[in-house]
Structure 1
Amino acid sequence: MPAAVRFGVNYTPSQGWFHHWLDFDLDAVRADLDSIAALGLDHLRVFPLWPYFQPNRTLIRPRAVEQLLALVDAAGERGLDVQVDALQGHLSSFDFLPAWTRSWHRRNLFTDPDVRDGLATYLHTLAAALADRPHFLGMTLGNEVNQFSAGPHPDPDPATEDQIDAWLEHLLAACERGAPGRLHLHAEYDATWYQDDMPFTPGQAARRGALTAVHSWVFNGTAQRHGRASVPAEHHAAYLVELSKAWAEDPRRPVWLQEVGAPAPLVPPEHAAAFTAATIANALDCPDLWGITWWCSHDVSRDLADFPELEYGLGLLTNDRRPKDTARALAEAAAADRHTPRPRTTALVVPADPAARSACAPGGPVFDAFFSLTADGARPTTVLDTRSRDAAHLAARGITDVVTPDQVLPTPPGGTRS
């Protein structure tokens, strides 16, 4: 574990969004990075667009790789470490898949051996090119690629849990061969924790890769059910951090809150800073938190069409790089002195069977029980039902009390109890 929690941002270029790779302007990137570094943050997560970097299965564009290296070097000059997400994949409601996987060349992203090997080559190429950069943290396989594997995606690439497990193992190994010893991981959106038929499972998230990544968005039903200032909304990120620990083999496995934001209109702009501060404070009360990486750095320009409305205003900074109140809230948290959080001694039992994970989703009995305990000040964590009587496991995690959802009173809308 690092000596202190890392604070960073998901880098969304102020000019051209992620299409900036087509017209790469290093001066514009440097200006963006200056505005990020001014907030006192220490890392970025960056997003090559897969079709732009690997337009053909056997072509990884050297110029694109050079541009990525230039971005990483520019970040390092400003004291910013960089995590690179290779498989994009999916960003802000748009899919970015190369032509060699679609239509006449339709191949399953997870089960086709040619796609898998093409991806392994791509990941290895990027990792190897970055391996000697001191400010390179590591590779994340991609951004929420689980959304391609099941509904509600309109054209999913179905796979089994075993097939996904083999895919993860193959691609993480390619990253490790390219850049040994770096922080290589995979990251999915919260269907991994909440959706019964999702082949990306909590066990994979909590056991494969250098650490566990969670992505927290309260537009998943949490804010709709409970409100923006409720206990469930303001503690949702902390809930995912603690939920992930039930499946981890290592009792001290680090967890990265890799993506979290304040989405309008569920969190109106005038309340976004308060939501940001509360979300961060509650996440910092989770032991073994590696870092918090806010979504996102800069707003999406209104010159770009067809984004969902909420995407345009998620930036900490405007398109002309002016910080918003949310940026100040994140900067203040990054600069603050803090103490290591106390162990969470009360554990809520969750089903180990991934086919029952909807119990953990908004409206499910685990979800409601967790926030009832939170409202009462219990600072809960979670434990699998298969480990709930394992004395050695409980002791290793500092757990002294175990409760089941049916032993906890439900949380009413708003998240508080009288």
Structure 2
Amino acid sequence: MRFGVNYTPSRGWFHHWLDFDLDEVRADLDPVAALGLDHIRVFPLWPLFQPNRTLIRPRAVEQLVALADAARERGLGVSVDGLQGHLSSFDFLPSWTTTWHRRNLFTDPPAVAAQAAYLRTLAEALSDRPNFLGMTLGNEVNQFADTPHPAPHRATAAQVEAWLRRLLAACEEGAPGRTHLHAGDDATWYLPGHPFTPGHAAGLGAMTAVHSWVFNGTAQRHGAAGPATEQHAAYLVELSKAWAADPERPVWLQEVGAPAPHIPASRAAAFTAATARAALDCTHLWGLTWWCSHDVDRSLADFPELEYDLGLFTAGRAPKPAAHALARVAAEYRADPHRPLPRTTALVLEPDAEGPGPRRTACAPGGRFFEAWAALAAEGVRPAVVLARDAEDPARRAARGITATVHPGEVPLPRRAMIQG
């Protein structure tokens, strides 16, 4: 079980790559290591590393390796996201993919070949570093493929699958045997018709990644202290496991944070601890990586308000109450490591008219399935999730430890619940 943080540099945010200062990086990572965390997730800015389709800047790659070495000196593993892509509401795409040179990120053969070369280069450069965990293709790159993005790069689910397989293979070519994966936002699980599917998330790559953000309607419906809010991350972990062919496939809670005002600052520490403990009650959880390490300096303009204060540390590198809360949970777990018991009761996810799989709107906050899961969780049931096709398969149920199933329509909902979908 790994406990880590998504590294957001305290000086200049991700623009630090323009004025890379290894001493600043070391100063950022010292308190992360002192907190007892064991890994960071790192975000090179794609346009700065590959400014031309056939140019991957050697100096930028060297700086990434230097950052990884600084992390190793502090006992920190490093996972690297390649295609940035999208970060905190800002898009960072190379000029050779936009405007006059616009190429579809997912279907244009030269663009895909260039992305593969870039990811292979990063992976190969890090392949001999013992603390290099592996590559994530990019941060929530799925959001480019569909609305509500203002200029989507449209692709079908089949085209997305081909893109994922090609780029994951490139990472493996660069660094064989490391943990290479892909990651999307919750549109993967909640947005009907989205071309990045739950099957892609739970079937491709070394493990499944989930990103949990309660500003998606969960906190608005259930409050900052509601069981559905504090267990939203655990819900996504369990929802993802329903789609995995391998019942022991690991899941990485790769992003989760306490966004204000949905989670008031006065409650951030309690939310952090409750979220982490709920996730640790899920079997086959590989790790928990908090978003993020440092607050965004308010001298930087135009971020959505909630993005400024998500750090475990201030922009001045002082630990905040949420940092201490996460450190306590990690220390408790390491003092008494355990495997959670199987979740024996599973909520059945039925197919619907959207297609061969379940209707994703039902899984989103306010959907009948989501609200039924939340109601069961509030009663202390510890619900798992099982697809309807697997609920009738004794071997499949037994492999996951499921002994009882319940359908959403059988779960009474609180009167305040607002159901849609």
Question: If the length of structure 2 is used for normalisation, what is the TM-score?
Answer: 0.96
Deviation for aligned residue 1:339: 2.3
Unaligned residue ranges in structure 1 (runs of 5+): none
Deviation for aligned residue 1:411: 3.8
- Equivalent position of 1:106 in the other structure: 102
1:257 aligned onto 2:256: no
- Equivalent position of 1:382 in the other structure: 385
Whole-Å separation in 1 of the counterparts to 2:361 and 2:178: 33
Letter in 1 for 2:365: P
Whole-Å separation in 2 of the counterparts to 1:412 and 1:41: 41
Question: Residue 60 of structure 1: SS of its match in structure 2?
Answer: coil
Deviations 1:91-148 (A, max 9, x none): 0000000000000001111011111000000000000010000000000000001110
Question: Residue 209 of structure 2: SS of its match in structure 1?
Answer: strand
Map 1:236-315; keep pairs closer than 5 Å: 236-315=232-311
Unaligned residue ranges in structure 2 (runs of 5+): none
Question: Residue 45 of structure 1: SS of its match in structure 2?
Answer: strand
1:392 aligned onto 2:395: yes
Which deviates more, 335-344 or 384-393?
335-344
Letter in 1 for 2:3: F
Whole-Å separation in 2 of the counterparts to 1:172 and 1:350: 29
In the TM superposition, structure 1's runs of 4+ consecutive aligned residues that sit over 4 Å from their partners are 412-415
1:408 and 1:51, CA in 2 relative to 1: closer, same or farther beyond 3 A? same
Letter in 1 for 2:10: S
* Preserved contact between residue 368 and residue 411 of structure 1 (Cα < 8 Å): no
Deviations 1:170-229 (A, max 9, x none): 000000000000000000000100001210000010010000000000000000111110
Whole-Å separation in 2 of the counterparts to 1:281 and 1:413: 26
Question: Residue 318 of structure 2: SS of its match in structure 1?
Answer: coil
Whole-Å separation in 1 of the counterparts to 2:404 and 2:249: 21
Letter in 1 for 2:265: P
Letter in 2 for 1:367: F
- Equivalent position of 1:30 in the other structure: 26
Letter in 1 for 2:344: T
Question: Residue 318 of structure 1: SS of its match in structure 2?
Answer: coil
Deviation for aligned residue 1:355: 6.6
Question: Residue 210 of structure 2: SS of its match in structure 1?
Answer: strand
Deviation for aligned residue 1:35: 1.2
**Percent of matched pairs sharing the same residue:** 70
Question: Residue 126 of structure 1: SS of its match in structure 2?
Answer: helix
- Equivalent position of 1:184 in the other structure: 180
* Preserved contact between residue 298 and residue 319 of structure 1 (Cα < 8 Å): yes
1:104 and 1:360, CA in 2 relative to 1: closer, same or farther beyond 3 A? same
Whole-Å separation in 2 of the counterparts to 1:223 and 1:354: 27
Letter in 2 for 1:95: D
Whole-Å separation in 1 of the counterparts to 2:124 and 2:350: 40
Question: Residue 389 of structure 2: SS of its match in structure 1?
Answer: coil
- Equivalent position of 1:16 in the other structure: 12
Deviation for aligned residue 1:340: 1.5
Letter in 2 for 1:132: D
Correspondent of 2:201 among 197, 200, 205: 205
Whole-Å separation in 2 of the counterparts to 1:295 and 1:414: 29
Work out the number of aligned pairs and report it: 411
Whole-Å separation in 2 of the counterparts to 1:384 and 1:326: 35
- Equivalent position of 1:348 in the other structure: 347
1:364 aligned onto 2:367: yes
* Preserved contact between residue 371 and residue 411 of structure 1 (Cα < 8 Å): no
Question: If the length of structure 1 is used for normalisation, what is the TM-score?
Answer: 0.97
* Preserved contact between residue 65 and residue 126 of structure 1 (Cα < 8 Å): yes
